[in-house]
Amino acid sequence: MTVNPFRTSEVQAAFGGRYVIGPELRVGGQGVVYRAARVLDASGAACSNDVALKLHVDSGQDERVEREINAIRNLRHPTLATLLEDGTISVGSKQTRYIAWEFIAGEPLDVRLQSGPLTEVQTLQVAQDVTLAIVALWSKHIVHRDIAPKNIMVRPNGRAVLIDLGGARHLDSTTITAPGATFGTPGYFSPEQCRAEHALTSASDIFALGVVMLECLLGRHPTNFNQHQLAASPLSVRPMIPHASPALCDAIEGMLQLRAPFRPRLAQLQAIFHELLKAR
């Protein structure tokens, strides 16, 4: 279990009263996320925003933080979290980068799945929204690289929002990941990401979304997070989810093709999900 290195009182003091710090939402190796109320913006003007306030623990990740900020700064889409503010504060004696995102009411998909699988319609709605987020990112030649249930927020109405661009990489940017290493969550890597290839495309995010969809329908990870099994041979989807429609099984099998060029393109996925939802 990761321990929060920050004291709530010190965090609140570091912002000089601009934020009212609430409960922890998530604590991980990269940082701590709080729910907070932003009462003054960076210029000191009054505002009223509920935010997900992320404080980064490792200063060695500053370049990755900057990429996360730059990736999303000029990108606005209903299926992507909105960046409200970023900067550096001094918490105790430590300089810490922070990012304030809009607070998304709902729960992370990984938490939602602890209650059991989603229905086909619920799965399709999540998939459609995440596909729209991938489209928005890919329009800027950005690959998310970490599409997993923990990074998908599900609103009370079932609509999904893709969060955490800490691993996002612009196709034209140089890599900051060590040679032979890859960024993301094991169990969701595409085969090419598993091989630590740097020239990833949206097809890699499509593969990860296919794994997430299968997990939604099963209520558990399809290979128990066995990355080798995912990358070594295509999964036979229909026997795993016999209750799902053949068209949905075919779509997921296509997304999980080992070779990126054989996966459906984003426009094809949008059309498939639209038709399947319309038929329900």
Q: What is the pLDDT of residue 198?
A: 77
Instruction: Judge whether 8-102 and 107-278 match in fold.
Output: no
Q: Which fold has domain 8-102?
A: Phosphorylase Kinase; domain 1 (3.30.200)
Does 179 score more than 60 pLDDT? no
Helix, strand and coil percent figures for the chain, each rounded to 5: 40, 20, 40
Residue 182: pLDDT band by 50, 70, 90 thresholds? low
Higher pLDDT, 205 or 166: 205
Return the sign of the alpha-carbon dihedral for residues 157, 79, 150, 225: positive
At residue 170, the pLDDT reads 58
For residue 189, pLDDT over 60 is answered with yes
Question: Could you tell me the CA-to-CA distances from 125 to 36, 52, 142, 156 in Å, in that order?
Answer: 28, 24, 23, 12
Looking at residue 219, its pLDDT comes to: 97
Quote the tokens at residue 108.
């992370």
What's the rounded Cα separation, in Å, for the pair 24 and 148? Answer: 20
Per-residue pLDDT tens for 207-225?
999 999 999 999 999 999 9
Report the pLDDT averaged over residues 76-103: 89
Closest Cα partner for 215 from 232, 192, 235, 195? 235
Give the three-class secondary structure for 270: helix
Q: For residues 253 and 272, what is the distance between their CA atoms, to the nearest angstrom? A: 13
Q: Which two tokens stand for residue 230?
A: 């995912």
CA distance 55 to 279: 44
How far, in Å, CA of 155 to CA of 107, rounded? Answer: 7
What pLDDT does residue 180 have? 40
* Model pTM score: 0.88
Q: What are phi and psi of 229, to 5 degrees?
A: -65, -40
Report CA-CA distances (Å) from 62 to 23, 24, 44, 98, 126.
25, 22, 25, 10, 31
The Cβ-side half-sphere exposure at 41, using a 13 Å CA radius, reads: 10
pLDDT of residue 166: 65
Which one of 1.25.40.10, 1.10.510.10, 3.20.140.10, 3.30.1490.70 gives the CATH number of domain 107-278? 1.10.510.10
Give residue for tokens 């969060």.
163
Which is more confidently placed, 59 or 87?
87
Predicted local distance difference test score (pLDDT) of residue 131: 98
Residue extents of the structural domains in the chain: 8-102, 107-278
**Mean pLDDT of the residues in the chain:** 89
- 135 pLDDT exceeds 60? yes
For residue 137, what is the enclosing H or E element?
helix 120-138
**Greatest mean pLDDT range, 24-33, 73-82, 139-148:** 139-148
Q: Which residues are marked as active site?
A: 146
What's the burial of 213, exposed, middle or buried (CB within 10 Å: 0-12/13-18/19+)? buried
Greatest mean pLDDT range, 62-71, 190-199, 244-253: 244-253
pLDDT value of position 92: 81
